[in-house]
Amino acid sequence: MKLSKRSLAIKPSITLALAAKATAMRAEGIAVINFAAGELDTDTPERIKRAAIEALNRGMTKYTEVRGIAPLREAIAQKYKDEFGLEYSSDQVLVSCGGKHSLYNIFQAMLDEGDEVIIPAPYWVSYRDIVLLSGGVPRIVKGSGRDDFRLTPEGLKAALGPRTRALILNSPNNPTGVAYHREELLALSRIVEAHGCLIISDDVYEKIVYDDFEFHNIVTVNPPLKERTVIVNSMSKTYAMTGWRIGYAVGPVPLLSAAGKIQSQSTSNPTSFAQAAALEALHGPDDELKELVRGLQPRRDAIVERFNAMEGVECNRPEGAFYVFPSIRSLLGKQGKKGTIASASDLSNFLLEEAQVVAVPGEDFGSPEHIRFSYTVPMNDIHKGCDRIETALKKLG
Ligand code: GLU
């Protein structure tokens, strides 16, 4: 069957595919350890679930305003005022079916054929394909800086050109967990200031930071850039709400209105009662969030330590999110049971077969010498998984 060039230009999301594979293997009785899931291992807090149930019982089962119910948009605008002193009106907020959908709508509204979008690598797998689906040209800029994972002012300057329409910043980053410090963002902001492109700040991991790291985005460090920045955020990671599919974007009215128009002709409103749950999430106390981050930090420390103790593996210590992205460069060229380990994918397959451990190879993150491990699994499983990986790696010749 003839398929569109657009659909043929993209791949299915590998993060979702591997997380599903791990679940399927478990269902078959295979004792896999799932380091692939990009979500928390806790359930959505009770108060949030209750808000959805109450909304259903009240009959909140009909269409809502396409861009999201007014109280939710107001609460989102208020969050930015309370947390960062940034003023947005509720007209500057568009609620969509997850952060990914927000990005999709924004890029559809922004790009024409051939417009370039700068994507610093390593990058979250969907940026590249969403840009392609929107007719844009992904301009991948390899990270350098302290840990090889950061966009530097020099790298950014070299990538900006006459066709550059936008820059994506994602801090804390998926898949590396790296987060930009204030000074780093300020230096990047000086470069884009001079160019005039739009900035998409994907802040979905803003609340998951460790060791007293202070979160900033490009607007909080350089407020005049607010006029041409879209901040994308979501309920998924902060409130353990991945399945509810609620994300949002805040930014300039013309762009968000165009994105809203696209939403009105595709999904219509995000699910009505999930919006009620999101409103409760934003209003609630943040103790549960602090608790969550407190629970993740020792797991980060343990997995970083375990990887660095393995021969041939090097792992940075991320500031945030819940991923580590160890380098397996030194293991490439070694021999496994089925032949040479030539790539991160080969090593991931080897680990799946030898150690029953599922993790996401770096190729689709723009980094073929790394593998992403999500450490949102119980501490016991982190150790069990690392024991198995260590044993398996010793079998490489
Ligand atoms: N963002 C998560 C991940 O990277 C969830 C899956 C996805 O949408 O990519 O694993």
pLDDT tens sequence across 247-276: 999 999 999 999 999 999 999 999 999 999
Average pLDDT of the chain?
96
What's the CA-to-centroid distance between 250 and ligand 1, angstroms?
21
The residue contributing the CA closest to ligand 1 atom 8 is: 16
Residue that wins the pLDDT comparison between 201 and 21: 201
Band of residue 22 on the pLDDT scale cut at 50, 70, 90? confident
Among residues 160, 158, 166, 156, which one has the least CA distance to residue 135?
166
Q: Is the pLDDT of residue 202 over 80?
A: yes
Alpha carbon 32 to its chain centroid, in Å, reads: 24
Question: What pLDDT is recorded for position 173?
Answer: 98
The residue contributing the CA closest to ligand 1 atom 2 is: 38
The pTM for the full model equals: 0.96
What's the CA-to-centroid distance between 195 and ligand 1, angstroms?
31
Radius of gyration of the chain (CA): 21
Three-state secondary structure string covering the chain = CCCCHHHHHCCCCHHHHHHHHHHHHHHCCCCCEECCCCCCCCCCCHHHHHHHHHHHHCCCCCCCCCCCCHHHHHHHHHHHHHHHCCCCCHHHEEEECCHHHHHHHHHHHHCCCCCEEEEEECCCHHHHHHHHHCCCEEEEEECECCCCCECCHHHHHHHCCCCEEEEEEECCCCCCCCCCCHHHHHHHHHHHHHHCCEEEEECCCCCCECCCCCCCCHHHHCHHHHHHEEEEEECCCCCCCHHHCCEEEECCHHHHHHHHHHHHCCCCCCCHHHHHHHHHHHHCCCHHHHHHHHHHHHHHHHHHHHHHCCCCCECCCCCECCEECCECHHHCCCEECCEECCCHHHHHHHHHHHHCEECEEHHHHCCCCEEEEECCCCHHHHHHHHHHHHHHHHCCC
| CB distance 13 to ligand 1 below 6 Å | yes
Among residues 98, 109, 153, which one has the least CA distance to residue 131?
109
CA distances (Å), origin 380, targets 21, 240, 297, 313, 376 = 21, 21, 15, 21, 11
What's the CA-to-centroid distance between 15 and ligand 1, angstroms?
5
What's the CA-to-centroid distance between 57 and ligand 1, angstroms?
31
* % the chain with pLDDT above 70: 99
What's the CA-to-centroid distance between 315 and ligand 1, angstroms?
21
CA atoms within 13 A on the CB side of 140: 16
What's the CA-to-centroid distance between 267 and ligand 1, angstroms?
20
What's the CA-to-centroid distance between 137 and ligand 1, angstroms?
22
| Lowest mean pLDDT, pick from 3-12, 45-54, 140-149 | 140-149
Assess contact for 101 and 80: CB atoms under 8 A.
no
Residue among 10, 11, 15 whose CB has most ligand 1 atoms within 8 A, to mutate: 15
| CB distance 310 to ligand 1 below 6 Å | no
What's the CA-to-centroid distance between 16 and ligand 1, angstroms?
6
| CB distance 177 to ligand 1 below 6 Å | no
Q: Is the pLDDT of residue 397 over 80?
A: yes
Residue among 10, 11, 21, 126 whose CB has most ligand 1 atoms within 8 A, to mutate: 126
